[in-house]
A and B are shown apart, each in its own frame.
Chain A
Amino acid sequence: MAYTKYSLTPANNNAAPPDGAPEGMLPSAVNDTMRDMMAQIRDAGDGIRDGTYTMTAPKITGGTITGATINNSAIGGTTTAAGAFTTLSATGATTFSGATVANTFSSSGATITGGTINSTAIGGTTAAAGKFTTLEATGVTTVQAGTAALPAITTTGDTNTGIFFSAADTIDFTEGGAATGQFDSSGNFKFNSGYGSVATAYGCRAWVNFNGTGTVAIRGSGNVSSITDNGVGNYTVNFTTAMPDVNYAAVGSGFRAAFSAAEAAESFTNFLVGSVNALFATGSSGAAFDTNAYSVAIFR
């Protein structure tokens, strides 16, 4: 950096030629001094261009920087290059072109369109394949309606089995591309369980199995809070959750070894939303009797 031998104070550049131009210098020394100055100007220019010189407080206003690097990170140019910034902030729009964002990318309002996340396409106008290890949403997750052949919710390798939505307020199930079940818009559950078609299933709303001999005891039950032993062959079945009305169907059976099956007769009376009275008698005489295997089921 020989140019630094010159002083910023013109009067001080009075060293002997060619390093300076003192008062009364010989004319023969003028050209030597000028040549020296030309060489120093060239040297300084080359130093700035080649990066030989360190600029301690450069100020660049306007213009275009192309093909250069900042701390070994290429900026601009026509090809990507490796490099890292400790932090990088932009207050305006930032475009990543062909870039990989590693570790943490934080944004309060970024829009990502047409790119990929871990090789999974996002956005765009066409569906794309891809996998996430886990996928969680704290809000509502919406899927397409799907069909029996291509259900909206399915599993890898068996994409014709799953859940689809054939109509508003309706949830459908499909297996092997054929509809096998449905919750319709009225809340009815329909299934094909060997019927040959998907039809409404009417479930048993209550059931109980009890021993009516000796110490009366309940073996098992569903939606039954209690049975009331009113006398020989006379029981009330009380429902835990009441029936919607009294138009339900009650079926029952009673078995006792002393009687043949043909002699046993079961009947029901006092149909209430909360209970029904079950009577067991012999078919031949009509006499009430106790058995050790009463079964009652309620359908609605």
Chain B
Amino acid sequence: MTKRIIYPNNNGGVSILIPTEEYLAEHTIEELAAKDVPVGKPYKIVDGSDIPSDRTFRNAWEYQE
């Protein structure tokens, strides 16, 4: 499974950035983070399998340093 980039959003939750195949065909996940993660936000690159598939409480998810 492709990588994901997670970062804290302005609502106190966590945003999960899902890359497209077309972009990763020509760029790295680090380049994507530099482009699409809001400036100044801390972020982590994680495996897609690390993201829960149960979204029942999606808005309660939090970003942990």
Contacts and interface: CB of A to CB of B under 8 A. Distances in A.
Contacts of A247: none
A232 interface: yes
B18 A275 contact: no
A75 interface: no
A231 B58 contact: yes
Contacts of A182: none
Contact of A222 (B19, B22, B55): B22
Nearest to B37: A228
A232 B18 contact: no
B14 to A, nearest CB: 9
Given A215-B53, A225-B36, A232-B55, A240 B22 contact: yes
Interface in B11-65: 11, 13, 15-23, 27, 32, 35-36, 48, 51, 53-55, 58-59
Contacts of B23: 224-226, 240
B16 A216 contact: yes
A217 B49 CA distance: 12
A231 B13 contact: yes
B13 to A, nearest CB: 6
A230 B13 contact: yes
B9 A230 contact: yes
A228 B16 contact: yes
Given A232-B55, A238-B36, A275-B36, A226 B20 contact: yes
B32 A226 contact: yes
A122 B50 CA distance: 73
For the side of the interface on B, what is the size category? 20 to 34
B59 A228 contact: no
A217 B53 CA distance: 11
A229 B58 CA distance: 10
B36 A228 contact: yes
Interface string A69-95: 000000000000000000000000000
Interface of B: 1, 5, 9, 11, 13, 15-23, 27, 32, 35-36, 48, 51, 53-55, 58-59
Interface of A: 208, 210, 213-218, 221-222, 224-232, 236, 238, 240, 274-275, 290
Given A221-B20, A225-B23, A236-B15, 8 more contacts: A210-B18, A226-B19, A226-B20, A226-B23, A228-B15, A232-B58, A238-B36, A240-B23
30 contacts: A213-B55, A215-B51, A215-B53, A216-B18, A217-B18, A218-B20, A221-B21, A221-B22, A224-B23, A225-B20, A225-B27, A225-B35, A226-B18, A226-B19, A226-B32, A227-B18, A228-B15, A228-B16, A228-B17, A228-B18, A228-B36, A229-B16, A229-B18, A230-B13, A231-B13, A231-B15, A238-B17, A240-B20, A274-B35, A275-B36
